């Protein structure tokens, strides 16, 4: 891969206009469901190519959820839970310290209480990020034994915890793992391992988050008692975890999130209501995007900077006053997190600019002893956004370099780490995000080996951001009905992103201006159709905005501000990129 003469911070995109699907198929679907051909071709590209699939997409129902007993081990997990209830066993729930883990622990805790497990025999533990590190810890297992538990559930962790499971078994604990991460070569010898990604598992949907897997256990148990609908009230927890964990928002996930958002907006639990209100959001209009960018960071903040069990206490709170107090704690911790985040980002950026050779290094790999382990993942993501290359940020924890890895679109950073695992103490994660640990005296050795792997497998093309365009349209196509149908594609997320369009030769109308944090606001017009447009983060391109341009954009509805607006909304083009038009 030739990295010479690249401006590594330049804003550049590849516009990838997807070829239209088979015209007869487009016309047939458009006619059958009464939509425009443009809508039909977007649906077909997303695998929705029949009337029945379109009906399921636009009118999902919880009855469409897969049979939980299709997941390997579900029958044994349900039987073991039933045994624990019958024998009045004490139970411990072990969750990871992120949104997925804390929501899953809170959900399972409330479900077991609903089943009659008293609070003096029901416990949860979220590991301390600094003292215990990621995953199932011996300290947590010791707490379970101390509390007299004989059954331990893990949520969003455990699939690689072979030694920890053996330790738990030696103390008389049965372990049921609810995880969604990639399995290693050998599974832990737990009582049951529930993970749709484990080898040989026949569950038809592979993209559940950890909370989603725990929900399937709850669904399976309720189904065994012919009370399946009783678990549907927990879809709010699944929604928060699914959206925050950035798993594909398709199939079963989309159904769960659609109903979960409805529940959150209409009847949120006291803890979640307090969190929404403290964040300044409006109940009734919460979107998947607001969960990702507003709610999730607050939920995560307490685990990044201290005790993540505070998030579980908030999520399980029943008293509004207590919930309000805990929500204020999360708000304050999030402010602290942002301050540390910014300081760390500026320091990391300085190191990149002054000490890294970005003309030759395919990846950014940074280590500093004093960086806070709670923010390095966030900062790694910000560095990827700025320099657009795989990034690893590490700090020193208990004499070992521990860190977070983030990738660019199309490059599997988990597999890249796997190719150099002989240089690592441990690692785990997903295609685009992973955690790792390296001995301090092997950091340089790891850096060289990992860079070599990235150079081998990361093409020059992948180092340029790609915008996938669903269709080319005219501004006249953006009718109220067209926009309403686009809105029904929500909730939006990975593999179900808001549709992106290309409009050519539109006129820039009037003067543009920069608003907020470098956002570019302007108006466009073509054939008498005028629309407000905003390009988030595009303020540095203001001087290029002139005459006629081709724009790549999504369509959103923005609320009119002001006391007399009555909540009215108007369409706004969210511009992702633009170029000077070659058509005059």
Q: pLDDT tens digits for 31-51?
A: 999 999 999 999 999 999 999
Average pLDDT over residues 165-180: 98
Average pLDDT over residues 163-173: 98
pLDDT at residue 578 is higher than 50 = yes
At 453 the pLDDT is: 97
**Nearest of 124, 111, 312, 60 to residue 217 by alpha carbon:** 111
- Reported as a pLDDT band with limits 50, 70 and 90, residue 562 is low
pLDDT at residue 413 is higher than 60 = yes
Q: pLDDT tens digits for 207-235?
A: 999 999 999 999 999 999 999 999 999 99
Q: What is the DSSP string of 538-579?
A: -GGGGGG--SEEEEEEEEEEEEPPSTTSTT-EEEEEEEEEEE
pLDDT at residue 113 is higher than 60 = yes
Query: Which CATH code is given to the segment(s) 13-22+466-580?
Result: 2.40.50.460
More confident residue, 533 or 546: 533
pLDDT at residue 355 is higher than 50 = yes
Q: Torsion angle, CA of 106/157/276/232, rounded to 10 degrees?
A: -60
At 566 the pLDDT is: 55
Q: pLDDT tens digits for 446-458?
A: 999 999 999 999 9
At 22 the pLDDT is: 92
> If you ran DSSP here, which 8-state letter would residue 66 be given?
P
* Full-model pTM: 0.91
At 583 the pLDDT is: 63
- In DSSP terms, 573 is beta-bridged to 533, 555
In terms of residues, how long is the chain? 584
Alpha-carbon 119 to chain mean position: 31
Q: pLDDT tens digits for 323-333?
A: 999 999 999 99
At 563 the pLDDT is: 44
- In DSSP terms, 503 is beta-bridged to 551
> If you ran DSSP here, which 8-state letter would residue 156 be given?
S
Q: Domain spans of the chain?
A: 13-22+466-580, 67-233, 356-463
Average pLDDT over residues 372-394: 95
At 2 the pLDDT is: 45
pLDDT at residue 584 is higher than 70 = no
Q: Per the structure block, which two tokens stand in for 185?
A: 């070569």
- DSSP alpha helices (H): ranges in 225-319? 235-244, 251-266, 270-278, 288-290, 296-305, 309-315
Q: pLDDT tens digits for 270-319?
A: 999 999 999 999 889 899 999 999 999 999 999 999 899 999 999 999 99
In this structure, CATH architecture of domain 356-463:
Roll (3.10)
Average pLDDT over residues 119-140: 93
Mean of pLDDT over the chain = 93
Q: Is 232 exposed, middle or buried (0-12, 13-18, 19+ CB in 10 A)?
A: middle
Tell me the C-alpha distance between 327 and 332, whole Å. Answer: 9
**Nearest of 296, 283, 150 to residue 209 by alpha carbon:** 296
Tally the C-alpha atoms within 13 A of residue 379's C-alpha that lie toward its C-beta: 33
**Three-state DSSP class for 329?**
helix
If you classify domain 67-233 with CATH, what class do you get?
Answer: alpha beta
**Nearest of 474, 532, 503, 570 to residue 36 by alpha carbon:** 474
pLDDT at residue 69 is higher than 60 = yes
Cβ-proximal residues to 427 (8 Å cutoff; 6+ apart), any chain:
414, 417, 418, 421, 434, 435, 436, 437
pLDDT at residue 236 is higher than 70 = yes
pLDDT at residue 6 is higher than 50 = no
Tell me the C-alpha distance between 537 and 523, whole Å. Answer: 17
Q: pLDDT tens digits for 482-500?
A: 999 999 999 999 999 999 9
Considering the chain, what percentage of its residues have pLDDT values greater than 70?
96
């Amino acid at each position: 891969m030739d990295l010479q003469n690249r401006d590594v911070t330049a804003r550049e995109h590849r516009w990838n206009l997807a070829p239209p699907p088979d015209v007869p198929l487009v016309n047939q679907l458009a006619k059958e469901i009464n939509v425009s051909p443009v809508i039909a071709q977007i649906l077909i590209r997303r695998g929705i190519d029949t009337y029945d699939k379109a009906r399921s997409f636009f009118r999902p129902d919880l009855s469409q959820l897969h049979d939980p007993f299709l997941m390997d081990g579900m029958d044994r997990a349900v039987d073991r839970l039933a045994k624990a209830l019958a024998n009045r066993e004490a139970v411990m729930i072990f969750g990871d310290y992120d949104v997925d883990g804390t929501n899953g622990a809170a959900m399972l805790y409330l479900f077991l209480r609903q089943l009659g497990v008293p609070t003096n025999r029901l416990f949860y533990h979220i590991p301390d990020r600094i003292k215990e590190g990621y995953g199932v810890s011996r300290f947590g297992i010791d707490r379970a034994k101390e509390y007299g538990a004989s059954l331990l559930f893990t949520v969003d962790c455990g699939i690689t915890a072979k030694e920890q499971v053996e330790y738990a078994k030696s103390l008389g604990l049965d372990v049921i793992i609810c995880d969604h991460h990639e399995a290693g070569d050998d599974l832990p010898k737990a009582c049951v391992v529930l993970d749709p990604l484990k080898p040989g598992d026949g569950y038809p949907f592979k993209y559940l988050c950890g909370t989603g897997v725990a929900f399937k256990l709850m669904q399976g148990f309720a189904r065994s008692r012919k009370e399946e609908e009783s678990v549907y009230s927990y879809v709010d927890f699944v929604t928060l975890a699914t959206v925050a964990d950035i798993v594909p928002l398709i199939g079963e996930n989309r159904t769960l999130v659609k109903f979960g958002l409805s529940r959150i907006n209409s009847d949120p639990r006291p803890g979640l209501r307090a969190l929404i209100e403290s964040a300044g959001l409006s109940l009734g209009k919460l979107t998947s995007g607001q969960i990702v960018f507003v709610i999730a960071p607050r939920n995560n903040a307490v685990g990044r900077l201290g005790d993540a069990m505070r998030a579980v206490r908030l999520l399980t709170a029943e008293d509004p006053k207590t919930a309000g107090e805990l929500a204020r704690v999360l708000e304050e911790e999030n402010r602290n997190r942002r301050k540390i985040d910014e300081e760390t980002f500026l320091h990391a950026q300085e190191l990149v600019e002054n000490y890294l050779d970005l003309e030759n290094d395919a990846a950014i790999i940074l280590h500093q002893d004093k960086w806070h382990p709670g923010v390095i993942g966030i900062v790694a993501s910000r560095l990827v956004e700025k320099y657009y290359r795989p990034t690893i940020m590490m700090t020193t924890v208990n004499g070992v370099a521990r860190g977070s890895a983030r990738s660019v679109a199309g490059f599997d950073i988990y597999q890249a780490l796997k190719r150099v695992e002989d240089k690592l103490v441990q690692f785990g994660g997903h295609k685009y995000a992973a955690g790792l640990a390296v001995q301090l005296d092997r950091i340089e050795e790891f850096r060289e080996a990992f860079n070599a792997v990235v150079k081998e497998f990361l093409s020059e093309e992948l180092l340029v951001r790609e915008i996938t365009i669903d269709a080319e349209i005219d501004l006249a196509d953006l009718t109220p009905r067209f926009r309403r149908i686009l809105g029904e594609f929500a909730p939006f997320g990975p593999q179900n992103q808001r549709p992106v369009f290309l409009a050519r030769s539109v006129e820039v109308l009037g003067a543009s201006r920069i608003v907020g944090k470098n956002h570019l606001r302007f108006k466009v017009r073509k054939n008498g159709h005028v629309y407000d447009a905003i390009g988030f983060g595009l303020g540095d391109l203001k001087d290029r905005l002139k005459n006629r341009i081709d724009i790549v954009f999504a369509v959103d509805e923005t609320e009119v501000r002001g006391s007399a607006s009555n909540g009215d909304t108007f369409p706004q083009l969210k511009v992702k990129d633009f170029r000077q038009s070659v058509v005059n």
